[in-house]
Chains A and B, each alone.
Chain A
Amino acid sequence: DAGVTQSPTHLIKTRGQQVTLRCSPISGHKSVSWYQQVLGQGPQFIFQYYEKEERGRGNFPDRFSARQFPNYSSELNVNALLLGDSALYLCASSLTGGDTEAFFGQGTRLTVV
């Protein structure tokens, strides 16, 4: 079975641009969460979606938005990119979001220059 897939794996953007990151969860999983991981730190929660509805949002500015599609895949959008947005963006897939096993993709490395 395919695991969690994220695309692209690497991305370089200029300050002020917009970016869209994509995630396909494990088949049968209905919840997707997004995390930002800065080098040397643990992941920080951005969003959780379950059954296409936003279940939670972390302490991130409105420049960050996300959505989940009927096939449970998800997109994370970041507008007006700042240098500080450079990080590894991780997508986690789980059955319901409220269960206690989440499986991560390999991440998207975003570099803002």
Chain B
Amino acid sequence: EDQVTQSPEALRLQEGESSSLNCSYTVSGLRGLFWYRQDPGKGPEFLFTLYSAGEEKEKERLKATLTKKESFLHITAPKPEDSATYLCAVQASGGKDSNYQLIWGAGTKLIIKP
């Protein structure tokens, strides 16, 4: 069964303290792995798509990496405005029931204290 697990559930950092969020996945065939940011009461905001092991993408203070079993979202020198829930999702590549749905983790709630 396709599954996505994120850790930790919550992470509190001081402003400027770098860290990483983990997304472990089990999927029959990976079409893409997605990172989204979600603020309270709002829809997820697209950050990155990764397609194959070894791929990396960066955006401002965020860098996403991908291996065959997991992805990391590295946050460098975070600011209070980076506080949000970060969601990871995978899209499977095939199978008779494939419908390109996203399979989501529960998210990591990131809190950056000034």
Contact = CB atoms under 8 A, between A and B. Distances in A.
Do the two chains belong together in a single complex? Answer: yes
Interface of A: 4, 6, 33, 35, 40-45, 48, 55-58, 88, 90, 92, 97-98, 100-107, 109
Nearest to B49: A100
Contacts of A4: 43
Nearest to B97: A56
Contact of A42 (B31, B41, B49, B105): B105
Contact of B44 (A6, A56, A90, A109): A90
Interface residues of B, number: 27
B31 A106 contact: no
B44 A97 contact: no
7 contacts: A4-B43, A35-B102, A40-B106, A56-B100, A56-B101, A100-B34, A107-B43
Contacts of B41: 88, 107, 109
B17 interface: no
A58 B100 CA distance: 11
A104 B99 contact: no
A97 B32 CA distance: 13
B42 A106 contact: yes
Interface in B13-67: 31-32, 34, 36, 41-46, 49, 51
B64 to A, nearest CB: 14
